[in-house]
Amino acid sequence: MSLARDDPRAGDHEHGSELSDTQLRVRALESVLVEKGYVDPAALDVLIETYETKVGPHNGACVVAKAWSDADFRRWLFTDSGEAIASLGFTGRQGENIVALENTPDVHNMVVCTLCSCYPWPVLGLPPVWYKSAPYRSRAVADPRGVLRDFGFELPTDTRIRVWDSTAEVRYLVVPMQPAGTDGWTENELARLVTRDSMIGTGLPRRPEDVTR
């Protein structure tokens, strides 16, 4: 895999020897850092567990579901996103300044980091490979409709597209439109409709008929 042509579907096993070199090098580096007392191996395990199991797009889905079902929260979310999101317990690293972006029938928001991989960790977790890849970073700002076609959907031609390039320490969370036919659903039920990609702006929420209430 490489940044320029990150095809995760090609599979890691095709580059087995190259990867095992990297694996050995990382193991060696970790040994040196532990031996010198710079890192605590137990802290490494907690960090991995945090980002592999605790912090992820399920957090953002709670924010979106609450914005769909609670008008007061929705207003708060779009006036002071950071405080509103923090009230649900989502704060911290790579999300110190979060701004929620409202999708409407007229405006579709889409988020990218052309310069590296900036992403709202507390609400979405770590970014997927495609978000960090050259195809997405190069085209999201110049051809967003083409990128959305890569993701399998076409916006109406008169919908305006706002692309937000996260070039500083502000992180953006897209709040997609609530799917029709879901009035009266609970927050937990609504959260099942919210996909990671719909909160980046490269996808839409699931359809009500595709989830179990």
Partner 1 sequence: MNGAQDMGGMHGFGAVLAEPDEPVFHAEWERRVLALTLAMGATGEWNLDASRFARESRPPSEYLSKSYYEIWLAGLERLLAERGLVAPDEIAAGRSLQPAKPARRTLAAGDVAGAVSRGSPTNRDAPQPARFDVGDRVRAKNLHPVTHTRLPRYVRGHVGTIARVHGCHIFPDTHAHGHGENPQWLYTVSFDGRELWGAEADPTVAVSVDAFEPYLDPAP
Is residue 130 within 8 Å of 151, Cβ to Cβ?
no
Enumerate residues 26-45 that contact partner 1 by CB under 8 A: 26-33, 35-40, 42-45
Among 5, 75, 207, 213, binds partner 1 (CB under 8 A): 5
Q: How far, in Å, CA of 122 to CA of 146, rounded?
A: 29
Q: Where does this chain touch partner 1 (CB under 8 A) — which range of 18-26, 71-79, 176-184, 205-213?
A: 18-26
Q: How far, in Å, CA of 88 to CA of 91, rounded?
A: 9
75 is an interface residue for partner 1 by CB under 8 A: no
Enumerate residues 95-134 that contact partner 1 by CB under 8 A: 95-97, 99, 112, 114-117, 122, 125-126, 128-130, 132-134
Q: Where does this chain touch partner 1 (CB under 8 A) — which range of 72-80, 94-102, 174-182, 183-191?
A: 94-102
Nearest distance, CB of residue 50 and partner 1, angstroms: 6
154 is an interface residue for partner 1 by CB under 8 A: no
Nearest distance, CB of residue 190 and partner 1, angstroms: 22
Could you give the angle at the alpha carbon of 26 between the alpha carbons of 21 and 28, nearest 5°?
95
Q: Where does this chain touch partner 1 (CB under 8 A) — which range of 68-76, 87-95, 173-181, 184-192?
A: 87-95
Tokens 């709202």 map to which residue?
120
Among 80, 102, 165, 187, binds partner 1 (CB under 8 A): 165
Q: Which residues contact 4 (CB under 8 A, 6 or more apart)?
A: 134
**Catalytic positions, please?**
113, 116-118
Q: Where does this chain touch partner 1 (CB under 8 A) — which range of 62-70, 89-97, 178-186, 205-213?
A: 89-97
Among 88, 141, 177, 211, binds partner 1 (CB under 8 A): 141
Name the 3-class secondary structure at 7. coil
Is residue 200 within 8 Å of 65, Cβ to Cβ?
no
By CB atoms closer than 10 A (0-12, 13-18, 19+), residue 212 is exposed
38/183 with CB nearer partner 1: 38
Convert 141-174 to b/e letters by CB count within 10 Å (16 or more is b). eeebeebbeeeeeeeeeeeeeebbbbeeeebbbb
